[in-house]
Amino acid sequence: VDEPRKTAVSLSTRLVTTRLVLRAPKVTDVPELRLVMRKNAEHLRPFSPAHPPGEDPGSLTGLSTMVARQRREWRHDRRFSFVMTMRDPEAPIIGRVSLNNIVRGAFLNADLGYWIDESFQKRGLMTEGVRAVLAFAFDELGLHRVQAAIMPHNLASLRVVEKLGFRREGEAAAYLRIAGKWEDHILFAILAGEKPAATP
């Protein structure tokens, strides 16, 4: 049985790493989210679900709805979707890391998702951000398993989970509909007892 949790995790939770801060999105983030998502539209399109025709998820209305939904899902223990910034208090949003589709009961599992601004890639930042979110998933949420599904040609993302010590579990045919096409994915997972690998 998927019982509701007794203690909700505060929406003001901040995960602070050497270089990054990760926190829940706020309504006041919407203009900034719009900028970073527009700037990265081409970078993210090959890895994102296509949006329904007529809907613009990058519009102020679409993003406000998304932020409100994500804050509701956070309160209800369904999804913990972080925005990521550098540690400078004035620093803009440069990416996101999300624990999606949380199932408790006998599964205690989440699906991991992430992206970073194109110009911040290849500095180890996403590996650092995901490492902090894994610690949160296991130590704060009490999850047992975090899963990642990655397309075989997404070499940067494959490398992120490899660096963190995820195990390759297998191949899933036509697993997610990405950019309008059902794509094969490789499934990876890490368990609570398997500490993420130390920073290389």
Q: Which residues bind ligand COA (CB under 6 A)?
A: 43-44, 47, 114-116, 121-127, 150, 154-157, 159-160
Residue with tokens 């901040």: 14
Q: How far is the CB of 12 from ligand COA (least distance, A)?
A: 25
Shortest Cβ 44–ligand COA spacing (Å): 6
Question: Considering beta carbons, is residue 8 or 156 the nearer one to ligand COA?
Answer: 156
Of 124 and 165, the one with the shorter C-beta distance to ligand COA is 124
DSSP annotation string for 37-70: HHHTHHHHGGGSPPPPTT--TTSHHHHHHHHHHH
Residue 20: exposed, middle, or buried by beta-carbon count in 10 A (0-12, 13-18, 19+)?
Answer: buried
Q: Which helix (H) or strand (E) holds 148?
A: strand 145-150
Query: What's the min distance (Å) between Cβ of 128 and ligand COA?
Result: 7
| Cβ proximity to ligand COA, 65 vs 121, nearer residue | 121
In DSSP terms, 82 is beta-bridged to 97
Tokens 């990058």 belong to which residue? 58
* Nearest distance, CB of residue 65 and ligand COA, angstroms: 22
Complex with ligand COA: residue 2 or 118, whichever CB lies closer: 118
Q: In whole angstroms, how far apart are CA 33 and each of 85, 136, 171?
A: 11, 23, 33
Contacts with 8 (C-beta within 8 Å, 6 or more apart), sequence order: 75, 77
Nearest approach, Cβ of residue 116 and ligand COA (Å): 4
**Which residue's CB is nearer to ligand COA, number 16 or number 68?**
16
